[in-house]
């Protein structure tokens, strides 16, 4: 009885620190967007450098996730988790004290590395703490972990708006320090980990190098593909594809000694969880920047108001996540995942009729149904990805699953940015594009709201035409995202297998 109580206590603390870490690491992806104008003013920087304040974190985070997961399978998940939190705290201090844009970018890259070490191991820690427990217990723990990151992402603009309005941008990073130290304290005091078996093979260093280069290059290309001012985008895309091919060749040759066992992708449930995670990030995180642009650029809401609007998604997600576990006991998981994806598609289609005079209520169905869909699916996706692989590969599986989150975000931003740019360029006169300096969706909104635009184009019809082009593009984004979510729902029905089959598949693939 005493041992059972100790295991339950360890599981609860592990889930708590993992959820707090997920919230903290995800917060730094979204909260900084609100501060970019203040950072530009204080550090006297340009747009390209500001983009690196965002992308520096995202790129290092995405590129190192898989390596962090593989290292944790050898050095221990708790040790890598603690090192990642420590690195994140030190980098946050560097961000808060940065006196130049270059120092801030360097600190953000280091922050991303720390975030990769944390999120690349947190899920494996939960899986280890839940070993031997009923599947519902593990699903609930993973659901809390996923909810921590998702709620943090949705409330990031609100937190950023509050801090910018009543303090200054360095406080966005300073608040990470006490939170990170608290997580380290709780982990040292309350979180235990079973000793891992000795690794059967040395670390695949060649694979680690090539997968890191590939993920960095592909994420850089995707994040900047719609930005004409970003340098070397096509070179990065070609480099990412080439290093990805080399990585796959190396992994195929190394077999059991590989950093990533390609046989894992033969497990339908593992592949389905990865695909749905990737698609989910495309129409959630990938769509979020453009929703924020519309709310701020066309509707002129403040950062504080935008945060409050997006909070509706968080509330819906928390409620749905609480119901997801009980529902999974009476509804097969693959059916529940498909229902979640179809709910998201319905919300996107309902809100795909925005017009110039619409207010934020036009996207309320989208926000609520996106939250419900995320709440129903997220608790199960990460659990599925880890539960169907051998125990000694839980870290690698966790890193693989988490890697597709930022990759899906980057692809979503690139895809939607290209669609927006294409629609705007098709609907606006060439003379308007050239005289107003319009080159991307963000600059379109800046031009619409500028005094220069009014002086160059005194006729109101041209301003209305520019606004209509942006709204038409936004509606098209909603429809494209709806198609993606429907395909994700169909993939869930096709790929996710009953739980009784998964262990056999995992053994065969191992």
Kindly give, in sequence order, each residue whose CB lies less than 8 Å from that of residue 369, ignoring residues fewer than 6 positions away: 316, 343, 344, 346, 347, 348, 350
The pLDDT of residue 404 is above 90: no
Whole-number Å distance between alpha carbons of 309 and 110: 32
Kindly give, in sequence order, each residue whose CB lies less than 8 Å from that of residue 274, ignoring residues fewer than 6 positions away: 265, 385, 400, 401, 404
- The per-residue pLDDT for 280 is 77
* DSSP assignment string, 214-254: HHHHHHHHHHHTT-TTSTTHHHHHHHHHHHHHHHHHHHHHH
Kindly give, in sequence order, each residue whose CB lies less than 8 Å from that of residue 168, ignoring residues fewer than 6 positions away: 38
Rounded mean pLDDT, 343-369: 89
More confident call, 112 vs 164: 112
The pLDDT of residue 53 is above 70: yes
pLDDT digits (tens, 9 = 90+) for 125-151: 887 777 666 666 666 777 677 767 767
- The per-residue pLDDT for 346 is 93
Banded pLDDT at 110 (limits 50, 70, 90): very high
CATH number of 267-510: 1.20.1250.20
The pLDDT of residue 293 is above 80: no
Most confident of 398-407, 412-421, 432-441: 412-421
Most confident of 179-188, 398-407, 494-503: 179-188
Most confident of 49-53, 114-118, 208-212: 114-118
Find how far residue 100's CA is from the centre of its chain. 27
Rounded mean pLDDT, 322-334: 83
The pLDDT of residue 430 is above 60: no
More confident call, 245 vs 328: 245
Rounded mean pLDDT, 417-439: 63
b/e map 375-410, b = 16+ CB within 10 Å? bbbbbbbbbbbbbbbebebbbbbbbbbbbbbbbbbb
The pLDDT of residue 446 is above 60: no
State the sign of the Cα–Cα–Cα–Cα dihedral 331, 332, 337, 343: negative
Banded pLDDT at 21 (limits 50, 70, 90): confident
Q: What's the whole-number average pLDDT of the chain?
A: 77
The pLDDT of residue 441 is above 70: no
Tally of CB atoms within 10 A around 452: 12
pLDDT digits (tens, 9 = 90+) for 215-257: 778 877 776 665 655 677 888 889 989 998 998 898 888 776 7
Structural domain boundaries in the chain: 1-194, 204-258, 267-510
The pLDDT of residue 116 is above 60: yes
Tell me, yes or no, if the two domains 1-194 and 267-510 fold the same way.
yes
Banded pLDDT at 114 (limits 50, 70, 90): very high
Instruction: Work out the angle at residue 400's Cα, subtended by the Cα atoms of residues 268 and 225, and round it to the nearest 5 degrees.
Output: 105
Q: What is the pTM of this model?
A: 0.73
More confident call, 126 vs 349: 349
- The per-residue pLDDT for 184 is 93
Considering the segment(s) 1-194 as one domain, its CATH architecture is: Up-down Bundle (1.20)
Whole-number Å distance between alpha carbons of 107 and 113: 10
Helix 32-43 vs helix 101-129: angle between axes, to the nearest 10 degrees?
160
pLDDT digits (tens, 9 = 90+) for 470-491: 888 889 989 988 988 898 889 8
- The per-residue pLDDT for 95 is 93
- The per-residue pLDDT for 376 is 85
More confident call, 348 vs 265: 348
């Amino acid at each position: 009885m005493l041992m059972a109580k100790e295991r339950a206590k360890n599981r609860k603390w592990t889930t708590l620190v993992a959820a707090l870490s997920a919230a903290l690491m995800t917060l730094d992806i979204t909260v900084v967007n609100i501060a970019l104008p203040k950072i530009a003013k204080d550090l006297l920087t340009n747009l390209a450098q500001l983009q690196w304040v965002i992308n520096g974190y995202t790129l290092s985070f995405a590129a190192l996730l898989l390596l962090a997961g593989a290292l944790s399978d050898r050095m221990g998940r708790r040790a890598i988790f603690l090192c990642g939190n420590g690195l994140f705290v030190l980098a946050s201090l560097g961000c808060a004290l940065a006196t130049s844009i270059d120092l801030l970018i360097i600190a953000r890259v280091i922050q991303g590395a720390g975030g990769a070490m944390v999120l690349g191991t947190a899920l494996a820690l939960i899986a280890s703490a839940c070993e031997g427990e009923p599947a519902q217990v593990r699903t609930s723990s993973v659901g809390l972990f996923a909810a921590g990151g998702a709620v943090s992402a949705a409330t990031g603009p609100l937190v950023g708006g509050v801090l910018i309005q009543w303090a200054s941008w360095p406080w966005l990073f300073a608040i990470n320090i006490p939170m990170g130290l608290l997580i380290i304290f709780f982990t040292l005091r309350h979180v235990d980990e079973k000793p891992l078996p000795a690794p059967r093979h040395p670390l695949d260093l060649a694979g680690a190098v090539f997968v890191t280069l590939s993920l960095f290059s592909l994420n850089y290309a995707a994040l900047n593909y719609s930005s004409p001012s970003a340098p070397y985008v096509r070179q990065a895309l070609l480099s990412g594809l080439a290093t990805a091919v080399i990585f796959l060749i190396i992994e195929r040759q190394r077999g059991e000694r590989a950093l990533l066992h390609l046989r894992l992708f033969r497990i339908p449930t593992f592949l389905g969880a990865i695909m749905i995670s990737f698609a989910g990030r495309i129409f959630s995180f990938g769509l979020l920047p453009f929703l924020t642009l519309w709310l701020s650029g066309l509707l002129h809401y403040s950062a504080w108001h935008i945060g409050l609007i997006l909070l509706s998604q968080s509330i819906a997600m928390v409620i749905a996540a609480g119901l997801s576990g009980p529902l999974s006991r009476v509804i097969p998981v693959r059916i529940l995942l498909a229902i979640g994806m179809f709910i998201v598609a319905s919300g996107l289609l309902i809100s795909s009729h925005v017009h110039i005079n619409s207010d934020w209520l036009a996207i309320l169905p989208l926000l609520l149904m996106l939250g419900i869909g995320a709440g129903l699916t997220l608790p199960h996706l990460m659990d599925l990805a880890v539960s169907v692989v051998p125990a000694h590969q839980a870290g690698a599986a966790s890193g693989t699953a988490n890697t597709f989150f930022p990759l899906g975000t980057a692809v979503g931003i690139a895809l939607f940015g290209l669609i927006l740019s294409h629609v705007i360029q098709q609907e606006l006169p060439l003379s308007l594009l050239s005289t107003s300096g319009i080159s991307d969706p963000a600059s379109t909104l800046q031009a619409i709201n500028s005094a220069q635009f009014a002086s160059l184009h005194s006729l109101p019809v041209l301003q209305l035409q520019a606004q209509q082009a942006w709204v038409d593009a936004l509606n098209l984004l909603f429809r494209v995202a709806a198609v993606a979510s429907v395909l994700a729902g169909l993939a869930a029905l096709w790929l996710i297998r009953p739980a009784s089959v998964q262990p056999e598949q995992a053994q065969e693939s191992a």
